[in-house]
Structure 1
Amino acid sequence: MVFTPPQNYNEIKSLLENLEAYINSPEFHEIDSLIKMPIIHYQFESIHPFYDGNGRTGRIINMLYLVQQKLLDIPVLYLSSYIIKNKNDYYRLLQEVRTKDAWEEWIIWMLKGVEITALETIKVVNKIKILMDDYKKEIRSEFSFYSHDLINILFKHPYTKIDFLQKELGVHRNTASSYLNALAKHGLLNKVKIGKSNYYINQKLFNTLTKR
């Protein structure tokens, strides 16, 4: 059976207003937030308000709702990996809520995803902490320009640029360039030229974030 989401603008608008009320109305605050999150996700995916990107948007709403409810400090619990790895179950269970009112199985499946993703995320965070400590020790022992701010820049994203160091460290462009080139020569960063810009990739951080 193929599910056809609502097509009429006014109907979609009304359903989204209803969903927003369910999310924020004090009347529903007694429901545990971890139970509400799968219900919200189901409802958003069933409304399917956009031509494209509904799945990604729905998963972002999951995280933002848990942040709103103070179950997360920052939005790091991204369920995409769990859902994509188990997409047959995902679509089957969504459909069974529609056709069989099978809420319990759907909610339990999503809660299992939260548990699995949380444990995986903790492992990744711990690996990043260890990697940061390794970089701190190496840069501190080998380079006079070591600073805590520099380490934070190198781990803020999997890549950095001369402009980033110049702005965040408050140094001259040539100084920022010399820092990054020295780190690249030492093997801590990979220097990649794209167009006219040089990007300095923290390959170990990138690998940690992508190999999950």
Structure 2
Amino acid sequence: MQVNRCTPPPRGAGILEAKLANLCAFLNDDRQYPVDPLLKMAMAHFQFEAIHPFRDGNGRTGRVVNIHVLTQKGLLDYPILYLSRYIVEHKEEYYNVLAGVSQRGDWPKWLSYMLQAVAYTAQLTYEKINRILQARDAIQEVIASQTTVRRPDQLTQKIFTQPVTRVRHLTEDRTYAENTARDYLNRLVELGILARKTLSGNHYYLNRELYSILAE
């Protein structure tokens, strides 16, 4: 992979396009560039930030590229490993090690930083997933104890699919009829599992526990 060691983004007709094409080839051609996927992700992130193709949003886009590479290479089944938190919390070190590659070719410190970010975030994500599963199981028990609620497992799954649920989320696949769905969601509000919010006349049901875990 051709590395742009200059701090400013590349200038000149066709240069930016050529460097982006080289980056895409590096990411997608594993025969020509047989690099470990984690290292490839870290190297590609640096290269994207060095190319700096946009006037704004390069940092955010680069962080999206991270998760895309890990998913594309089969290290993740779902894009749930968000390195952004680690990078934001260690922003000064992030910029220092980025500059180290640009100015001195110091790849080891950069790669070490990114691997640490992956390890830290993977552990954090693993713990969050376990907490979500525990919360889901506990809430399913409460819902199942409501003897008039049909298919408590499906209702629980629906409210844990995303933090905010609407009546249509329970009716669009015919899990419940509209009146039944509304009644069940309101009952979960009474039980303290959900919080009902009204915006522009529409009712939204917030899963308190799931939101609390995701917000940390």
TM-score, normalised to structure 2's length?
Answer: 0.91
Equivalent-residue separation in structure 1 for 2:55 and 2:204 (angstroms): 34
Letter aligned with residue 192 of structure 1 = K
Equivalent-residue separation in structure 2 for 1:171 and 1:89 (angstroms): 51
Equivalent-residue separation in structure 2 for 1:7 and 1:180 (angstroms): 57
* Secondary structure of 1:72's aligned partner: coil
Equivalent-residue separation in structure 1 for 2:13 and 2:135 (angstroms): 50
Matched residue, 2:73? 69
Matched residue, 1:135? 139
Matched residue, 2:202? 197
Matched residue, 1:210? 215
Equivalent-residue separation in structure 2 for 1:168 and 1:130 (angstroms): 26
1:82 paired with 2:111, answer no
Q: Alpha-carbon deviation of 1:64? A: 1.4
Q: Alpha-carbon deviation of 1:46? A: 1.2
* Secondary structure of 2:171's aligned partner: helix
Deviates more, 1:199-208 or 1:67-76: 67-76
Q: In 2, are the aligned partners of 1:150 and 1:169 still within 8 Å (CA)?
A: no
Letter aligned with residue 59 of structure 1 = R
Equivalent-residue separation in structure 2 for 1:143 and 1:158 (angstroms): 25
Q: In 2, are the aligned partners of 1:158 and 1:201 still within 8 Å (CA)?
A: yes
Say how many residue pairs are matched: 209
1:41 paired with 2:65, answer no
Equivalent-residue separation in structure 1 for 2:147 and 2:203 (angstroms): 21
Matched residue, 2:184? 179
Q: Alpha-carbon deviation of 1:4? A: 2.2
Equivalent-residue separation in structure 1 for 2:175 and 2:119 (angstroms): 42
Q: Alpha-carbon deviation of 1:12? A: 1.9
Equivalent-residue separation in structure 2 for 1:9 and 1:139 (angstroms): 63
Equivalent-residue separation in structure 2 for 1:133 and 1:175 (angstroms): 22
Equivalent-residue separation in structure 1 for 2:176 and 2:11 (angstroms): 55
- Note the aligned Cα RMSD (angstroms): 1.6
1:53 paired with 2:60, answer no
**1:115-163 per-position Cα deviation (integer Å, ceiling 9, x unaligned):** 0000000000000010000111000002422432211110111110011
Letter aligned with residue 210 of structure 1 = A
Equivalent-residue separation in structure 2 for 1:197 and 1:53 (angstroms): 33
Which residues of structure 2 form unaligned runs of 5+?
1-5
Equivalent-residue separation in structure 2 for 1:8 and 1:128 (angstroms): 50
Which structure 1 residue ranges, 4+ long, deviate > 6 Å from structure 2?
none
Equivalent-residue separation in structure 2 for 1:24 and 1:51 (angstroms): 25
TM-score, normalised to structure 1's length?
Answer: 0.93
Equivalent-residue separation in structure 1 for 2:40 and 2:57 (angstroms): 22
**1:80-108 per-position Cα deviation (integer Å, ceiling 9, x unaligned):** 11000000010111111000101010001
* Secondary structure of 2:160's aligned partner: helix
Counterpart selection for 2:164 from 155, 159, 163: 159
